[in-house]
Structure 1
């Protein structure tokens, strides 16, 4: 595998892993840092494993089936109804995910001193411009740039905070609140849009690269592994950067967050945090819209540009309006959206199960199908994620 091949293949797995650190993840990381300090680092690092297992299978499916996204593969192998069952359920959840991302952009903008009625329309238009670019490779350049801003911002935030000597890096309890936290983190480690995005983005990009399938499969796996590790390291950085902030501070209250960050990390840290939060929310917003639209239109067999824009607008505008209308009640908006998003672990099971069936199909995967051991690991991971989702709701 040459450097040139790596450069040409790089992108889909990295982008979707960085998008996993969305606005909800950032706010959760802040809350974890406030309450637990460094004591959840072990959990965050462990979450890289299920993240890698599920997404590696999605990427492999796309690498082998050049030009065919997950929705199209399911439709061709089974039926339109089954494909729609997997994609439309994701589409419905993504409406509420959009709201969370827009709130993240609004709060990040307020930290930088820009009101929501300016930031939200600007990023809505910017989002529309990006997804209106019909070539995936051009869209990907924007996404990689945003992901690097996200990475640098939160790593720099952690550096400004500095390492706190003597902090305990491990904690475990059988208390209801702690087991709920662990279960919620496991259940939310993979979102439905991530599976659809990685399969489709990999398939669309790799079809224009003349490398052997073996090279594509190998690199997709390596990139997914790197992305999973870096994604969780960013979460670790967020937790470390906010350790020491009082639990009474509301992460959605930009004044309280700015003041607290200034006290523990210096006067420029709130601005870096704001940039990181906006980058995380905006990257996730784009990836969610692409994954959701691709999956739904592939399932219908109507993956045209006009249909793509129609789906984007039908999800994005209501979410944007809700966020603008409730600028003084972001806590209620977030709680409402997260409550409805709690069903995501159940929805992610549908494409996960279908991928598990497809990934061992020799007719589809040829010599790149999963063997017995990998299939056992895959199904155990799916069960763990589903169990986490059930426990989080109970």
Structure 2
């Protein structure tokens, strides 16, 4: 009997750990979506290793943003849009969800464009690869619960770890890396523009909406808060390791052979990597990572948008409901997929669009992070509310991050 109780207790703890880990693993994998991959690849191709320090600096920033999101979701048991509506009114809530929708559609276009680009590498027509992706993601949501969707998302996103292998296979030279890290062009407007895109590639509006809503969906409780913070720190590190791997891979190949040459297509990126990575093997690894990044992000972005709109308009918004019980939730989720897929099939410049979407994310940071910080001050009870030096440091980090993104973009455009 004692063994049985111990075994049962261990199983219960394992279930709790998996419940806590799920939303953060999915967000971590989705954070390095196709747009982020393309932005990192462009960074390595054009600027070599010069944008690596920024990726390291963004680790604590990403942790702060995700920790606030996790804390608010667990303590309040409410989604991001719902809390904005409750504390700032419906107009601000709709404004926030409007920025979410804009960022989500832009992100979905890049995800499907990435899948389409990989498909073309293997002779699959654009309409077929994009159409199959849209249909698969729609079926996953319409026929599954949140837990099943989460598991599928984690499985697809795990292929992103292939980028780490790609970086190792590129054989980067430590001497080149050290030399370039001492020659960072801080005053160059083109460098700052791509730096802003990297900031927008790491912190996105849909990331906050999804993570908070997923925590509520899974009913994660206060007893999991401490463990969630540790998992969040680990997730922030792993996310940036993937970004760093992509920059190293492209800097050691494209950046070395054709320094300063911007990229225009996924095929160009992969074809340039093939000689350095050993024939088709490198292309396969890169393709797996790209498709994994695209599919997990497409799930997260679509759900974030459907959840966010549901929280503000108050229609039923949960994967635990049957489609007949929450028709608007499933219709919006599917409509976003179909619309984005059609826009991709109509033709688009993937690299330019991807970087443009990340820059847009950087411009939206003051709104997104501003609401997050204010909710941490207003929506949380005294015990969990931001206060003292930690609250001040968080405020400074958020202001500096938002300000840098906007200033870097404006410096380029004006």
TM-score with structure 1 length normalisation? 0.89
Which of 269, 274, 281 is equivalent to 2:282?
269
Gaps of 5+ in 1: none
- SS where residue 175 of structure 2 aligns? coil
Secondary structure of 1:370's counterpart equals coil
Deviation at 1:102, TM superposition (A): 1.1
Partner of 1:358: 375
Q: 1:231 aligns with which of 225, 236, 239?
A: 239
What is the deviation of 1:344?
Answer: 2.6
CA distance in 2, matches of 1:198, 1:221: 13
The one-character-per-residue Cα deviations of 1:64-94 (angstroms, maximum 9, x if unpaired) are 123x211222223342222212112211232
Query: In the superposition, relative to structure 1, how do residues 391 and 88 fare at CA in structure 2: closer, same or farther (>3 Å)?
Result: same
- Is the 1:107–1:274 contact (alpha carbons within 8 Å) kept by the matching residues of 2? no
2:341 is matched with 320
**Contact 2:45–2:263 (CA<8 Å) still a contact in 1?**
no
Structure 2 residue aligned with 1:146:
156
Question: Does 1:155 pair with 2:164?
Answer: yes
1:14 aligned to which of 17, 21, 25: 25
SS at match of 1:38: coil
For 1:38 and 1:346, how far apart are their aligned partners in 2? 25
Residues 231, 93 of structure 1: alpha-carbon distance in 2 compared, 3 angstrom cutoff: same
d(CA) in 1 for partners of 2:212, 2:237: 19
Deviation at 1:45, TM superposition (A): 1.4
Offset at residue 4 of structure 1 (A): 4.8
Residues in 1 aligned to 2:15 and 2:146: alpha-carbon distance in whole angstroms: 19
Contact 2:36 2:198 in 1 (8 A): no
CA contact (8 A) 1:21 1:235 kept: yes
> Deviation digits for residues 263-307 of structure 1, max 9, x if unmatched?
111011011111111111111111111111111110111134311
Which residue number in structure 2 is paired with residue 380 of structure 1?
396
Partner of 1:85: 95
Structure 1 residues 364 and 338: alpha-carbon distance in aligned structure 2, compared to 1, 3 A threshold: same
How far 1:130 sits from its partner (Å)?
1.9
Indicate yes or no: 2:140 matched with 1:124. Answer: no
Which residue does the alignment assign to 2:7?
none
Deviations 1:173-200 (A, max 9, x none): 2222223332332344311001111111
Contact 1:63–1:220 (8 Å) recurs in 2: no
Q: TM-score, normalised by structure 2?
A: 0.85
Q: Does the Cα contact within 8 Å between 1:143 and 1:283 map onto a contact in 2?
A: yes
Q: 1:58 aligns with which of 56, 60, 69?
A: 69
Which range moves more in the overlay, 261-270 or 371-380? 371-380
Is residue 127 of structure 2 the alignment partner of residue 112 of structure 1? no
How far apart in 2 are the matches of 1:278 and 1:90? 23
Alpha-carbon distance in 1 for matches of 2:356, 2:289? 24
Q: Secondary structure at the match of 2:333?
A: helix
Does the 8 Å CA contact 2:109/2:343 hold for their aligned counterparts? yes
Shift of 1:105: 0.8
**Equivalent position SS for 1:343:** helix
Please give the alpha-carbon distance, in whole angstroms, between the structure 1 residues aligned to 2:197 and 2:358.
Answer: 11
The two structures, once aligned, show a CA RMSD in angstroms of 2.3
Query: Counterparts of 1:338 and 1:138 in 2: how far apart (Å)?
Result: 32
Match of 1:168, SS state, is helix
Q: 1:285 and 2:298 equivalent?
A: yes
Cα–Cα, structure 1 residues 301 and 28, in superposed 2: closer, same or farther, change >3 Å? same
Summarize deviations over 1:326-358 as a string: whole Å, max 9, x none. 1xxx42x65356546633334343342222122
Distance 1:340 1:155 in 2: 24
Partner of 1:40: 51
Find 2:364's aligned residue among 347, 370, 391: 347
Give the match's secondary structure for 1:114. coil
